[in-house]
Structure 1
Amino acid sequence: MEKIVLGADIGGSHITAALIDLDKKNEITKTRCRASLNTNAPVEEIIDAWATIIENTMNKHAGRPAWISIAMPGPMDYKNGICMIKDQGKYGALYNVNIKEKLAQRLDFSSDAISFRNDAVCFLQGEIFSGSLKGMDKAIGLTLGTGLGTAYIKNGEAYDADLWKMPFMKGIAEDYISTRWFVNRFEELAEVKIKDVKDLVDNHHNSPYFRSIFTEFSMNLAKFIYKFVRKKMPLAAVIGGNIVQAEAYFLDDTRKYLAQMMGYSFPVKRSVLGEEAALIGAGSSL
């Protein structure tokens, strides 16, 4: 089992886990498990929910993995496994908690064999290895969901760009490029509260504000990518995360607006690996 690790992706609303074959650097079939999370729950409830999915994944294959590698949004002390998320509407109970130690205790697993990495970094690492940007050595990645994740590739290795808090328009980037923006902006325009972008697409397609909100988002995203490109000078970008499920309503416009700003057509690709990107990126980057 020394060539098999467990990769997990913990987001703002879910956890997904699968066993990864390090020799092949791909997901072992029929080992993936996923569950929704109450991210405002107490510490022990959150840790137990994570541990349950990890245990279910382990039980789908003979033996026990040598390592557990977890993709997790920041801010966080990744080396020591201490969560630093606060005032983001998620995981408030985990602030300043050593989640690595707590998870190790709950799983009866060595804390030395559990690692945390930034989720956007894992996403981009996976896409570079076997996804939309396979083999590329100079690229950027964005994960669009409950928060905004950003990463860049340098010499074949992915790093956290940490641009979610970059000053942007009248606030920070994540204020305008996240599920939160869609929820707040649609309520402002339509006086209707939505749960997330999926809710918007599924249940409010006929709203007179549906087209305009995606047009506005496309412009926001293009402006942000333009600033990101100017910082890192990549050859291409890849986009993932839950909001990408609605790509039909914003991605072409984003490319168009970005081309107008850049003066040429810059490659902005959608993730081909989806959730698998972060799992493979986490597992294969040990």
Structure 2
Amino acid sequence: MTPALEIGGTHVGAAQVAFPGAEVSARTRLPLGPRDRAPEVLGAVVRCAAGLEAPDGAVWGVAVPGPFDYEKGVALFAGVGKFDDLYGVDVRAVLLDGVWPRPADLVFLNDAHAFTLGEWRAGATRGHRRCVGITLGTGIGSAFLADGELCREGPGVPPDGRIDLVTVAGRPLEDTVSRRALLARYGDPDADVRDLAVRARAGERRARLVLDEAFVALGGVLAPRLREFGASALVVGGAMSASWDLVGPALRTGLGATGVLLLRSALGEDAGLVGAAAYAAGRS
């Protein structure tokens, strides 16, 4: 059994994962408030991890969004709208001191990387030698995998494997596709992305247009990179993928005739935990 922890924008989750079948058990989960300060966030992370009752001396996998020093386990959040109070905190040291039985070590990886690795090990892209995963939430996360290895460079791979660093018409991609971009385009300060989805399904043309334009544009950005990378599948996760009836068709339109299989996450919230555990198992 390999213990895994995932720190997200709204919650922290933990589980034990058994390989080779990637069976997930003993899940624990705690909410994180949007305005929580460092003591509240770290307290929730430690309580969630400690509640797992992991084996003594285990190597943990920890999925966490960036900016983050994944080798050292130090938070570098600044100007990203969440977790800024954690800047400079040694998360590895906090967990080593706070979790009992004490872990032998903790290995950290990006949450989008964990999602994509989890889907490759036991989810939608299992059996695909080359695949790409994207997460749609506050922003866009991505990972390019070749035989289960993360690719940070090479044909079709954006800088450091990050599709959010690509530009559209000279502007960052997240100015077109992100929670912030969608709501700015829609123009209702009291709406959320969930509201846009509800209104689009109810027939509101404006809401549907905003969503269609964003995800068709995303498909258009991804299409040439998927071809160059030689991907046979693209898997999509994150909060916005819950509106797959709206996101999927627009993405397919943008992707065009790439021949790439477009898939929704098969593991859901377990994908990041499976990927983090697989990463830890490979490093232990």
TM tier, smaller:
0.7 to 0.9
Residue 27 (structure 2) pairs with residue 38 (structure 1): no
The runs of at least 4 consecutive aligned structure 1 residues that moved more than 4 Å come to 108-112, 202-208
**Paired residue type of 2:277:** G
Q: Which stretch of structure 1 is more off in the superposition, 41-50 or 202-211?
A: 202-211
Residue 260 (structure 2) pairs with residue 266 (structure 1): yes
Q: Distance in 2 between matches of 1:271 and 1:213?
A: 23
- In structure 2, relative to structure 1, the CA distance for the partners of 1:173 and 1:65 (3 Å cut) is farther
SS of the residue 1:79 aligns to:
coil
Contact 2:21 2:122 in 1 (8 A): no
**Paired residue type of 1:57:** L
Question: Displacement, 1:245?
Answer: 0.1
Deviations 1:180-226 (A, max 9, x none): 2223322x2xx34224x234334775444221111112222212212
Contact 1:122 1:158 in 2 (8 A): no
Contact 2:58 2:103 in 1 (8 A): no
Tell me the TM-score normalized by structure 2.
Answer: 0.85
Aligned residues: 271
Deviations 1:47-105 (A, max 9, x none): 001112222333xx7x5571321111112110100122211111111122211112322
Give 5+ residue unaligned stretches, structure 2. Answer: 153-160
Contact 1:18 1:57 in 2 (8 A): yes
- In structure 2, relative to structure 1, the CA distance for the partners of 1:209 and 1:192 (3 Å cut) is farther
Calculate the aligned-residue CA RMSD, in Å: 2.3
- In structure 2, relative to structure 1, the CA distance for the partners of 1:231 and 1:34 (3 Å cut) is farther
- In structure 2, relative to structure 1, the CA distance for the partners of 1:204 and 1:156 (3 Å cut) is closer
**Paired residue type of 1:172:** P
- In structure 2, relative to structure 1, the CA distance for the partners of 1:23 and 1:229 (3 Å cut) is closer
Question: Displacement, 1:11?
Answer: 1.7
Residue in 1 that maps onto 2:156: none
SS of the residue 1:149 aligns to:
strand
Q: Distance in 1 between matches of 2:93 and 2:47?
A: 16
Residue in 2 that maps onto 1:241: 238
Tell me the TM-score normalized by structure 1.
Answer: 0.85
Residue 163 (structure 2) pairs with residue 163 (structure 1): yes
Contact 2:92 2:106 in 1 (8 A): yes
Give 5+ residue unaligned stretches, structure 1. Answer: none
Question: Displacement, 1:170?
Answer: 4.6
Contact 2:200 2:208 in 1 (8 A): no
**Paired residue type of 1:201:** A
Q: Distance in 2 between matches of 1:236 and 1:267?
A: 4
Residue 98 (structure 2) pairs with residue 106 (structure 1): yes
Of the three residues 195, 207, 210, the one matched with 2:207 is 210
Question: Displacement, 1:237?
Answer: 0.9
Contact 2:75 2:86 in 1 (8 A): yes
Question: Displacement, 1:114?
Answer: 1.5
- In structure 2, relative to structure 1, the CA distance for the partners of 1:49 and 1:203 (3 Å cut) is farther
Deviations 1:129-172 (A, max 9, x none): 11111121111110111221110112331346123232233531
SS of the residue 1:97 aligns to:
coil
Residue in 1 that maps onto 2:251: 254
Deviations 1:23-65 (A, max 9, x none): 432212xx2222321244221211001112222333xx7x557
Contact 1:255 1:265 in 2 (8 A): no
Identity of aligned residues (%): 26
Residue 11 (structure 2) pairs with residue 11 (structure 1): no
